[in-house]
Amino acid sequence: MARADDLTAEAAFARYEDIRPRLPRSAFLQGSVACGGLREVAEHVDAFVLDGFGVLTVGETAIPGAPACIRDLRARGKRLVVLTNAASYPHAQAVAQYRRLGFDFAPEEIVSSRDVCARRLPGLLPGAHWGAIAAPNDRFEDIPVDMVRWTARDAPAVDGFAMLSTAAFDAADYDTLESALRARPRPVVVANPDLVAPWETGLSKEPGFFAHLLADRLGIAPVFFGKPHADAFADALARLGDPPPARCAMVGDTLHTDILGGRAMGLRTVLATDHGLFAGRDPGRFIAASGIVPDFIVPAP
């Protein structure tokens, strides 16, 4: 992964605030209700939209107690869908990954930002030849467009760029991409709007980090698919049968993606604090500084 060695949680939060004019807008409640976990929140909602990193997993490790909590919510009759900004691998691999970690999600209960992007990419630039910034072993059979892997070392001529993963994206890749866009402006599609993600060894720089840097430096307007943007939530709610949004809770670890995006769509929101962006920190000061106020705060699922 592209490590964010120079980014603390505080710096990542500040960067999210910098790019806030590009994010959805919403109104928030005056305060949050502290709960011990999602079992308490379940008394108030019928369905949960669950972030992956920081809520269910940290990197490729399940958060302790998370699989059991999911099984308990299901036993209580709660409808569940995972809405993750992880776009590094196809849907079937995402399903297998959650199963390996002990979660019982059915394939239709997982929506990734990659899925959201794949559904809409063909209509953005019909007939285009896309360059994918992607994980080294990614293949693109699940994305119904003409797509080839793009790196600084192998920079094929393409009509647009799709940022799926920056796991192997380095400074040379960024510089070459920026130069290519300066020389010939083209669409930039981002299938993971996150700036950073929590892993076992620290934060990683995600596609959104580099896309917003391009927007700052070149004045371009990348097209984002994934939280906090509306298409991702619309797809997740459709998987739940389009229930009343106020009877659903978006559970996430990041204010500017999960909480802001969920609230903008009319969902109730839950900030999980112990394993994500704010792990080991007081989330209250970040809430106060941003004005992004979750309905509920839980330490973990």
Q: What is the pLDDT of residues 137-174, one digit of tens each?
A: 999 999 999 999 999 998 999 999 999 999 999 999 99
Residues 99 and 63 sit within 8 Å (Cβ to Cβ): no
Q: Residue 130's closest CA among 115, 102, 110, 150?
A: 150
Judged against a pLDDT cut of 50, whether residue 1 lies above it is answered with no
SS3 196: strand
* Residue 202 banded pLDDT, cuts 50, 70, 90: confident
Q: Which of 236, 265, 254, 232 is nearest to 117 (CA)?
A: 232
Q: pTM of the predicted model, to two decimals?
A: 0.94
Q: Which CATH superfamily is domain 124-224 in?
A: HAD superfamily/HAD-like (3.40.50.1000)
Burial class (CB in 10 A: 0-12, 13-18, 19+), 127: exposed
Q: SS3 sequence, 106-138?
A: CHHHEEEHHHHHHHHHHHHCCCCEEEEECCCCC
Q: What is the mean pLDDT of the chain?
A: 94
- Please give the average per-residue pLDDT across 44-55, as a whole number: 96
* Confidence bin at 203 (pLDDT 50/70/90): confident
Residue 3 reports pLDDT greater than 60: no
Segment 229-255 mean pLDDT:
96
Mean per-residue pLDDT, 181-210? 92
Which comes out higher in pLDDT, residue 4 or 293?
293
- Closest residue by Cα to residue 17 from 286, 273, 296, 218: 286
Label residue 5 by pLDDT band (50, 70, 90): low
- Give the CATH fold of the 21-114+227-298 domain: Rossmann fold (3.40.50)
- The pLDDT of residue 272 is 97
Q: For residue 6, what pLDDT is reported?
A: 62
**How many other C-beta atoms are found inside a 10 Å radius of the C-beta of residue 242?**
9
Comparison of pLDDT for 111 and 58, the residue scoring more = 111
In tens, the pLDDT along 222-233 reads 999 999 999 999
| Residue pLDDT, tens place only, 248-266 | 999 999 999 999 999 999 9
- Of 75-79, 89-93, 248-252, the range with the lowest mean pLDDT is 89-93
Please state, in angstroms and rounded to a whole number, the distance separating the CA atoms of residues 230 and 123.
17
Confidence of residue 128 (pLDDT cuts 50, 70, 90): very high
Reading the block at residue 290, the tokens are 């941003």
Mean pLDDT on 194-200: 86
Res 2: pLDDT:
53
| Alpha-carbon gap, residue 64 to 62, rounded angstroms | 6
Tokens of 247: 């009877």
Tell me if 21-114+227-298 shares its fold with 124-224: yes
Average pLDDT over residues 100-126: 97
- What residue spans define the domains of the chain? 21-114+227-298, 124-224
> First-to-last CA distance in the chain?
26
* Cβ atoms 189, 117 nearer than 8 A: yes
One-letter amino acid for residue 132 of the chain: A
